[in-house]
Chains A and B, each alone.
Chain A
């Protein structure tokens, strides 16, 4: 069933690509941050995305999103794989996130402490969930959807994530259809593909 599994993988991978979104020209209230201002990604954008991703997947006993270079990964995916309108929505989403931080903590995301960042993203994610639940099919996805999906995809398909947080088995050599699983001990099994 390799073909179906590949299909699932591709669906998972393109889940992030399917985000819709109309470009919404917001007023520029936070010029010094410059977040999401550029049509392409800058080094500071990557740093910003790294911090967003690290807040979603922080380093613990297992690697964090920065170890997996998720910020860089997001920019590659958005630039190469997203349709133009979704690219715009993503850039705009960065700005929205920064503005939301400004509103909550009176300064931009990069200046926020890890605790402030987490507080913000928990709130934004709650907003995302409510929005996604009530939106029509035609409505664009909530802007945070792409950040979260790309973080999960980028992390678990990275070398750091696979080797550090999963049971990575590139050459299992056998198949066993019934092995014990210990919750809290055993990890999800992954491989090369």
Chain B
């Protein structure tokens, strides 16, 4: 008989991956508990700032000295702001240490970073899945594009991805909702780039998880209203988040229990059956210990936190933690490197404007090192950017003060266009996280130490990232083009990947091709931790597909009694 601590499956984490795991497992008939370390956020009701105009913020959305003092990590970039500070993890309660600088921006609440994500959604291509093997880098992926393709379709139909059909081999089309529109300048620049490079380079609308057309299965979600207020949680449910999308579906099954304020500190490993029995939890508010039991565990706690849980588990068998037998657990940390590109002024469109606050920009898919080209670095990059008219914050050099200045700034200024590249980072064994037992968090748990850096391949790639954008803008007739290579540290892309990579061989990887921990087959890791390489496209859509695929596999295995009751062999 099941008691109230026993379920068919435990899902750790409630972000993009955790929400998908909960939805897929419950819809396939399992009784699931989803454990979230942070506080509850109820869709709509708890988005208390989602309709708040800028003037109701005393510092108009900026940052105070007190905030800078309280958030030594978050202060390094835009997340430290007055608008959605409550959505970012508290640096003092949840510290980490840095052998080398790593910017780790976390969301510890129901929905995780699905509430604050950039919503850019792209499929990986076969080029990405075969790159490691072709280049002889790290280890090959155990799966290919064809394994994930049906699952991309599955998650896209549900999440709602807007974009345009382009038929590009390096960036497969998704199942799209109607595309948002490029503006007049972007369209003209796109046409000039396309013709100059003979269709080899394209500028398309940035594909995002926004509702732009009918989503019959999710009547609670309505079309994007173009308010540009995504970051406070959307009361229209217009962008994909756990709260807007996967959680209502999972709740509708009647099979989901949600446990908030539940910090999973370790997996309970049973050495006799060589399986996980459940998880040990600390209540974030009362510090009380609690245990939950289930046939399978899905770790979806965000890349580095899922690995942190593994490192804390079964240490009596493996000193490095559950899944550490290959020596790869915690290694191969990846992020995308960016903040490198160009921008300039566009003349001749002074009688043109746009209407609405579009929550995406343009995207230029990867064009380097494909189709037989060979640069002096491996892999490639895509660009994200936009064209817009300057707003009231611009410098008006010819005007001093007075009514003329006010009137001038009350009109839009000239057009600008610019973009930053997002570049693929290679997996390096020596880029790693480790447990630092000398430093403890608010709950007395050891913290992570970071030892991660970008290396030569990334540095060489940045030369092209900068120069290619400059060249394309100049070819499109953009004036005063300035290129830049700005402040960029690992982690800043908020695309943490790796540390529990998938592979074909238990000697060199932590997970198999179905996201099962080689050393413990009823534990699945389906968030960024599982990534064997990084591609250059934003990773979230791939986590969705990967999670849905693994969940279907897990339920099949349970039905076949392959997991738990009799342990699967390799």
Q: Which residues of A contact B (CB under 8 A)?
A: 1-7, 9-10, 12-15, 17, 55-58, 60, 62, 73, 76-77, 80-83, 118, 121-122, 125-126, 129, 148, 152-159, 162, 165-166, 169-184, 186-193
Contacts and interface: CB of A to CB of B under 8 A. Distances in A.
B491 to A, nearest CB: 15
A7 B410 CA distance: 21
B353 to A, nearest CB: 4
B231 A13 contact: no
How big is the B interface, by class? 35 or more
12 contacts: A2-B359, A2-B360, A3-B118, A15-B393, A60-B406, A158-B55, A173-B356, A177-B186, A177-B354, A186-B353, A192-B51, A193-B54
Pick the most buried of A15, A77, A80, A186: most chain B CB atoms within 10 A of its CB: A80
Interface in B334-355: 350-355
B225 A58 contact: no
A13 B60 contact: yes
Most-contacted residue by chain B among A5, A14, A126 (CB, 10 A):
A5
A190 to B, nearest CB: 8
Given A13-B59, A80-B59, A118-B401, 15 more contacts: A3-B78, A3-B118, A10-B81, A17-B62, A56-B405, A62-B406, A80-B66, A169-B355, A170-B227, A172-B355, A173-B226, A178-B354, A181-B350, A186-B353, A192-B229
Interface in B54-82: 54-55, 58-66, 77-78, 81
B353 A192 contact: no
Interface stretch (B241-249, B384-392, B522-530): B384-392
Given A80-B59, A121-B401, A174 B355 contact: yes
Contacts, number: 211
B142 interface: no
Interface stretch (B125-133, B175-183, B285-293, B434-442): B175-183
A178 B359 CA distance: 16
Given A2-B230, A6-B78, A172-B225, A14 B62 contact: yes
B54 A178 contact: no
Contacts of B278: none
Contacts of B384: 1, 4
Contact of B357 (A13, A56, A60, A191): A191
A165 B226 contact: no
A133 to B, nearest CB: 10
Interface string B398-428: 0011110111011110000000100000000
B498 interface: no
Nearest to B403: A60
Nearest to A147: B401
Interface in B485-513: none
Contacts of A183: 350-351, 411
A191 B354 CA distance: 13
A49 to B, nearest CB: 14
Given A1-B360, A165-B406, A191 B386 contact: no
A175 B226 contact: yes
Contacts of A179: 352-355
B119 A2 contact: yes
